[in-house]
Amino acid sequence: MNKLKSGLLFFAALFLSGVLKSQTLEEGKKFLYYERHQSATEAFQKLVAADPNNLDAVYWLGQVMILSDDKPDLPGAKALYQKTLMNNSNSALLLAGMGHVELLEGKTQDARARFETALSISQSKNAAVLNAIGFANVNADKGDADYAVEKLKLATTLKNMKDPDVWANLGDAYKKLLQGGPAQTAYETALELVPTYARSSFRIGKIYQSQGRTQEEIYLRYYNDAIAKDTKYAPVYENLYQYYYLTDVNRSAEYLEKYLANADNDPKDCYYRASMKYAQGLFADCIKSSEDCLKGENPYPNLYGLIAYAYDRLGDSVNAKTQFETYFQKQKPEKIGATDWQTYAKILLKFPGNDSIAGLNIDKAAALDSTEKGKVDILKVMSSYYDGQKKYKEAADWYNKIVSVKKDVRKTDLYNAGYNYFRSGEYISSINVFNIYTQKFADDAFGYYMIGKANWAIDSTLEQALANPAFEKTIQVGLTDSIKYKNQLIGSYKYFVVYSVYKKRQGSGPELLR
């Protein structure tokens, strides 16, 4: 009797252990569905700690390490999969996970070999393996979306396949192929399986949002559908918080609170709330909230920058300068953006004697900006400053930088650089710029005229007749529109009158125009 009782207790313990593991695994997957990566990590780590050969848990733990928004750990996921595969070399699921890692590393051929091995082992009849392969190819930039569609469609044909995640991943694969119609159909099929599957409604909304604000009524309806289906689905709140940030900051603030209420706790939460105060124009409140956040453990470095921006908006340049300097000390260099360096440079220009340092920061900002317009706008900070200070040589140098980054250089760009060099006495530099002007705008007399004036300044005694060719060309081109180029023609003729007098004094007749 005691042996029977002992045996029953043993099997009961095994059963309960299995149920507990199953619940925890599903719990972790649910956290991942909600994009609560910290909670998902903790759930899967407990399972792996209890049983390092719990292959499902190992696979999903590796996935969380890959997908983590804040700190993706690809090397960690790779090491985890490799270690577990040493004792479980025929695990099709882990081979699919390893293929995912290799895709993210850019090793597309190695990844494909892993996937094909996983398919061979599972005989292409395991929905979880097919889903893992499909998702990997959707998630990785170098993944093959057509291959993902093929494997995910195969998974949907398997008997008793009722996992909405497969259909949602199929929708994502079609979306990657820019096939919105099939993507929406796949998402809708997932909803037929599980009507509360908010991820699908959210994904359909994203399809319409990608088409622009003309589809606003449609995509907002789908976002509201997602919320109605599952009020805990944090990604939709995060999307709406970002969506309204620039158009309706108060509404954005409401969605931010809903997002934070349904997401994992994070040191950045305090920053998000403080930054919302900034967006609402409550700069003093923003500073106070940020300073309160800094009292906690491991404060988010962006808080220092946020305080700096708030002081700048309040017109307190002294505190803004100090806070920016603290921010640059606390923040990782790769996290400091073009706007940070540009704003700091503008603040430095308010303090005499800091223009050289400001210029170095403007150069950093321009180097970080990926667009031509962005680079030009940044460089204009220094050119305009020096123009206002009547430091023409420095202004010309910065205008010349603008010329160097523009693909389609305009007359005004070249004029600003060339004319500022001219009035600063940098005549050779001025000639170099106006030579470019005449090459690009050969039918405009102004470029030749400025080359003539610069050469006249260099050859002020007229001994070398350096300016003659340029002024002759000015007259030739200027006569095509004597009204437009009236001033340049008068200036050119005046030069030749002076030159003629000079030649007479040298004992020879005037040199007539050729």
What is the overall mean pLDDT for the chain?
A: 92
Q: How confident is the model at residue 17 (pLDDT cuts 50, 70, 90)?
A: very low
Mean pLDDT of 26-53: 95
Closest-CA residue to 277 (of 238, 237, 250): 250
Inform me whether the pLDDT recorded for 1 exceeds 60. Answer: no
**In this structure, what is the dihedral angle of CA atoms 244, 245, 249, 255, given to the nearest 10 degrees?**
60
Mean pLDDT of 186-204: 97
Q: pLDDT tens across 61-81, in order? A: 999 999 987 678 999 999 999
Question: DSSP code of 161?
Answer: -
Q: pLDDT tens across 305-318, in order? A: 999 999 999 999 99
pLDDT at position 396 is 98
E strands present in 5-87: none
pLDDT at position 71 is 75
Q: How confident is the model at residue 85 (pLDDT cuts 50, 70, 90)?
A: very high
Asked if 421 and 427 count as a contact pair (C-beta separation under 8 A), the reply is: yes
Q: Which of 14-23, 147-156, 184-193, 499-508 has the lowest mean pLDDT?
A: 14-23
What b/e string do you get for 315-350 counting C-beta neighbours within 10 Å, with b at 16 or more? eebeebbebbeebbebbeeeebebebbbbbbbbbbe
pLDDT at position 23 is 56
Q: pLDDT tens across 439-489, in order? A: 999 999 999 999 999 999 999 999 999 999 999 999 999 999 999 999 999
Q: How confident is the model at residue 513 (pLDDT cuts 50, 70, 90)?
A: very low
Helix axes 234-244, 198-209, angle to 10 degrees: 30
Q: How confident is the model at residue 2 (pLDDT cuts 50, 70, 90)?
A: very low
Inform me whether the pLDDT recorded for 502 exceeds 90. Answer: no
Question: H/E/C letters for each residue in 428-474?
Answer: HHHHHHHHHHHHHCCCCHHHHHHHHHHHHHHCCCCCCCCCHHHHHHH
pLDDT at position 62 is 97
Contacts of residues 287-295 at CB distance under 8 Å and 24 or more positions apart, as own/partner, are 287/311
pLDDT at position 284 is 97
pLDDT at position 415 is 97
Q: Which of 58-72, 172-186, 376-390, 499-513 has the lowest mean pLDDT?
A: 499-513
Q: Which residues contact 336 (CB under 8 A, 6 or more apart)?
A: 327, 328
Tell me how far apart the alpha carbons of residues 244 and 279 are, in angstroms, rounded to a whole number. Answer: 11
Q: What are phi and psi of 51, to 5 degrees?
A: -150, 95
Inform me whether the pLDDT recorded for 22 exceeds 60. Answer: no
pLDDT at position 13 is 40
Maximum Cα–Cα distance across the chain: 139
Number of Cβ within 10 Å of residue 177's Cβ equals 15
pLDDT at position 267 is 80
Tell me how far apart the alpha carbons of residues 61 and 42 are, in angstroms, rounded to a whole number. Answer: 9
pLDDT at position 16 is 38
Inform me whether the pLDDT recorded for 160 exceeds 80. Answer: yes
Asked if 124 and 154 count as a contact pair (C-beta separation under 8 A), the reply is: yes
Asked if 121 and 128 count as a contact pair (C-beta separation under 8 A), the reply is: no
Inform me whether the pLDDT recorded for 490 exceeds 60. Answer: yes
Place of tokens 């882990």: 94
Asked if 264 and 36 count as a contact pair (C-beta separation under 8 A), the reply is: yes
Tell me how far apart the alpha carbons of residues 210 and 202 are, in angstroms, rounded to a whole number. Answer: 12
pLDDT at position 512 is 39
pLDDT at position 24 is 85
Tell me how far apart the alpha carbons of residues 115 and 129 are, in angstroms, rounded to a whole number. Answer: 9
Question: DSSP code of 140?
Answer: S
Inform me whether the pLDDT recorded for 218 exceeds 60. Answer: yes
pLDDT at position 508 is 52
- DSSP code per residue over 241-293: HHHHTTT-HHHHHHHHHHHHHHS---THHHHHHHHHHHHTT-HHHHHHHHHHH
Mean pLDDT of 496-505: 89
For 203, the token pair is 């994904």
Asked if 104 and 137 count as a contact pair (C-beta separation under 8 A), the reply is: no
Q: pLDDT tens across 378-421, in order? A: 999 999 999 999 999 999 999 999 999 999 999 999 999 999 99
**In this structure, what is the dihedral angle of CA atoms 445, 448, 452, 458, given to the nearest 10 degrees?**
150
For 199, the token pair is 């991820």
Helix (H) or strand (E) run with residue 402 in it: helix 392-405
Q: Which residues contact 110 (CB under 8 A, 6 or more apart)?
A: 99, 102
pLDDT at position 511 is 43
Inform me whether the pLDDT recorded for 510 exceeds 60. Answer: no
Q: pLDDT tens across 260-292, in order? A: 999 998 888 999 999 999 999 999 999 999 999
Q: How confident is the model at residue 11 (pLDDT cuts 50, 70, 90)?
A: very low
124: left (phi over 0), alpha (psi -120 to 50) or beta: left
Closest-CA residue to 60 (of 100, 117, 104): 100
Q: What is the CA radius of gyration of the chain?
A: 34
For 136, the token pair is 């990997």
426: left (phi over 0), alpha (psi -120 to 50) or beta: beta
Tell me how far apart the alpha carbons of residues 363 and 356 are, in angstroms, rounded to a whole number. Answer: 11
Asked if 513 and 488 count as a contact pair (C-beta separation under 8 A), the reply is: no
* End-to-end Cα spacing for the chain: 128
Q: Which residues contact 512 (CB under 8 A, 6 or more apart)?
A: none
